[in-house]
Structure 1
Amino acid sequence: MKFEEMGNMTGKTMMLLPGTCCDWQTNFGNVIDSLSSKYHLICVNYDGFDGSDTIFPDMITVTEKIEKYIKDKHNGRLDAAIGSSLGSSFVGQLVMRENVHIDHAIFGSPDLDQSGKLSAKLQAKLVVPILTGITKSQKKRNKTKEKLKNFFLMDDEMAEKFLNCFSKFKAESIRNEYYTDLITYLDDDIQVDNTTAHFIYAKKMGPKYLKRYKKYFHNPDIREFDMQHEQWLFGGTEYRVPVLKAIDEFMEQ
């Protein structure tokens, strides 16, 4: 795993945890300048997604490595952690396990899907070949690029970066990441003293996710935005700017 620290080194600490099949450079590329001007960022690339020959093991093993880094480098405490999609599962585990402390746990419009092992294996069997196969032919690549652009309102450059990111990683790492995320559960009604769970709720994902956020966390701070899943990270400024403003407001609480 790789941890890179940057930004305003006198500002509040904020860990950035990327989503499925992503490194932080791609996942947070559109917002890194804005965040680094204000916050002391700790950017994480997991095993298997860090440019090394390692393979992503499972969610809990990686969570333990993140906890160790926070303990060793930051005395076991962060002002904030932002999880994008699957990265929010790590934020949830860090809060729930209480081996480290996070004042502001920020969940970036996550799915927080959970399932049994058999269902998770079947889902991985269906999804992983899609994730690993979209760049194997120019026809598939072009088709996927257009879907990304239309769904997230990405520009062409961002869609190309996203596809290049997918193509870098080994199928075994993608499979392990996708599968173990589904079988790594969160408790219901998580509540930790002096920790606030903040949710960026992408309304276009549907109300079942809003119910899920309220199920897993006690009295979460939920901000609603008229966008798709993580569109603030991949779409234009009309999505990015309001969410960045909300994050600043979280940090001032």
Structure 2
Amino acid sequence: MQFEEMGNMSGKTLMLLPGTCCNYQTNFGPVIPKLSEKYHLICVNYDGFDGSDLIFPDMITVTEKIEKYIIDNYGGKLDGAIGSSLGSTFVGQLIMREKVHIDHGIFGSPDLDQSGKFSAWLQSKLVVPLLTGFTKNEKKRNKMKEKMKSFFLMSDEAAEKFMACFSTFSPVSIKNEYYTDLLTHLKDDIYVEHTIPHFIYANKMGEKYLKRYKKYFRNPDIREFDMQHEQWLFSGGEYAEPVLKAIDEFMEMPV
């Protein structure tokens, strides 16, 4: 596990938790300079995605490591944590388990999919080859890049960075991460005193995700944006600026 701290070291603490097949450098890279102006950032790379030879074990084991870092270094309390996509599963677990306390849990347009073991195995058999199969095939690589550019309105440069990021990680770590995320469930109607769950709702994902956010958390603070899943991290200032403004508003809310 890698924890790197940067930014405004006298500002509020904000942990950044990247999504599937990503390190924080690629996932949050476009917005780190802006966030660094105001916040003391704690940027996380999970086992298997941190440049080491370790393999990603499972979501709960990694959650426990994150909890230990917060306890050992911050007395068990952070001002905020933001999860990109799969990283939101960690935010949800940190809130629900109550081993540490987070004032503001920020969920970056997640799907929060959950399933049983057979369904998780089947989905992994279908999806993981798509995430890893392009790395040794130029034709598949170009096809995947064009899909990413079209769906997220990414620039060619941004798509190249994500493709390069995906290709550096072990397929075993990717499989373990994807599979165990589906098996890491949240309870319904989670409520923790003095914690506010904030959701960045990308409305182009569909209303079923909005319903899911309200199912898992009691009275979540939901901000709606006209964008695709995590598009604010991939498609430039048009999408990033309003979301960054919302994050500042989240972090200033009294708990």
Fold shared per TM-score above 0.5: yes
Q: Is 1:214 the equivalent of 2:238?
A: no
Residue 144 of structure 1 deviates from its aligned partner by 1.0
The answer to whether 1:229 aligns with 2:229 is: yes
Q: Could you tell me how far apart the structure 2 residues matched to 1:135 and 1:153 are?
A: 22
1:82-93 matches, within 5 Å, as: 82-93=82-93
Q: Which runs of 5+ in 2 are unaligned?
A: none
Q: Does 1:12 align with 2:12?
A: yes
Matched letter for residue 161 of structure 2:
K
Q: Tell me how far 1:136 sits from its aligned partner.
A: 1.5
Secondary structure of the 2:213 match is: helix
For the 8 Å contact 1:153–1:236, the answer to whether it is kept is no
**Aligned-pair CA distance for 1:135:** 2.2
For 1:207 and 1:233, locate their aligned partners in 2 and report how far apart those are by CA, in whole Å: 21
Q: In the alignment, what sits opposite 1:103?
A: 103
Aligned residue in 1 for 2:124: 124
Q: Is 1:81 matched up with 2:81?
A: yes
Paired amino acid for 2:219: N
Count of residue pairs the alignment pairs up: 253
Distance 2:135 2:147 in 1: 13
Q: Cα RMSD between the aligned structures?
A: 0.5
1:125 counterpart SS class: helix
Q: Letter of the 1:128 partner, please give it.
A: V
- In structure 2, C-alpha distance between the alignment counterparts of 1:182 and 1:134, rounded to whole Å: 23
List structure 1 runs of 4+ shifted beyond 4 angstroms: none
How far apart, in 2, do the equivalents of 1:136 and 1:212 lie?
37
TM-score for both structures, normalised by structure 1 = 0.99
| Structure-1 residue corresponding to 2:244 | 244
Partner of 2:113: 113
Alpha-carbon distance in structure 2 between the residues aligned to 1:140 and 1:175: 19
Say whether 1:185 aligns with 2:185. yes
Matched-pair identity in %: 78
The residue type equivalent to 1:49 in the other structure is F
Give unmatched runs, 5+ long, in structure 1.
none
Give secondary structure in 2 for the equivalent of 1:79. strand
CA contact (8 A) 1:26 1:165 kept: yes
Partner of residue 46, structure 2: 46
Q: What TM-score, normalized by structure 2, do the two folds share?
A: 0.99
The equivalences for 1:152-167 within 5 A come to 152-167=152-167
Once residues 139 and 213 of structure 1 are traced to their aligned partners in structure 2, the CA distance between those partners, rounded to angstroms, is 38
* Residue 149 (str. 1) matches residue 143 (str. 2): no
Secondary structure at the counterpart of residue 21 of structure 1: coil
Q: CA deviation at 1:127?
A: 0.6
Distance 1:156 1:248 in 2: 29
Q: CA deviation at 1:138?
A: 1.3
* Cα deviation, residue 142, structure 1: 1.1
Aligned 1:54-65 pairs, distance under 5 A: 54-65=54-65
CA distance in structure 1 between the partners assigned to 2:138 and 2:58 by the alignment: 32
Q: Distance in 1 between matches of 2:135 and 2:171?
A: 13
Counterpart code for 1:145: K
Q: Which amino acid aligns with 2:251?
A: M
Contact 1:6 1:40 in 2 (8 A): yes
Which stretch shows the higher mean deviation, 104-113 or 141-150? 141-150
- The equivalent of 1:195 in structure 2 is 195
Distance, in Å, in 1 between the alignment partners of 2:23 and 2:236 is 20
